[in-house]
Copies of this chain bind each other. A is one copy, B any other.
């Protein structure tokens, strides 16, 4: 039988995979970044055991990408995002985040508190 902590970590992973693959590819610009971030937070917070989702669009990375481009928008991908998610499963609280590491967005557990 999985422990509460293991179930909590599984649930945290579901939220991250859901958020990323639901919204990756969405057209995004500096002007539309905030409404997209709010929708990502509020939609994933609907999922079971999800206490809070915090999404920040990395505006400087977005503007740097567009400065090199003839377009005024791009597709959402991990290097434009900072995400932190809090999950609670029975007595266990898990925090996980996505951050850039060696140029790749990496999802990782931050803390598991029983």
Residue ranges of A at the interface with B (Cβ–Cβ < 8 Å): 2-3, 5-7, 9-29, 31-32, 35-36, 38-47, 70-73, 75, 77, 96, 102, 104, 107-109, 111-112
Number of copies: 4
Task: Say yes or no: A44 contacts B27, CB within 8 Å.
Answer: yes
Which residue of chain B lies nearest to A22 when distances are taken between CB atoms in the complex?
B21
The residue from B10, B18, B39, B40 contacting A9, defined by CB atoms under 8 A apart:
B10
A39 to chain B, nearest CB (A): 3
- Kindly state the separation between the CA atoms of A6 and B12 in the bound complex, as whole angstroms: 10
Of B7, B11, B35, the contact of A35 (CB 8 Å cutoff): B35
Q: A6-B112, A21-B22, A32-B42 are in contact. List 19 more A-B contacts (CB 8 A).
A: A2-B109, A9-B13, A10-B13, A10-B107, A17-B20, A17-B21, A18-B20, A19-B21, A20-B21, A20-B25, A24-B25, A24-B75, A25-B25, A26-B43, A28-B46, A35-B39, A36-B39, A46-B72, A70-B102
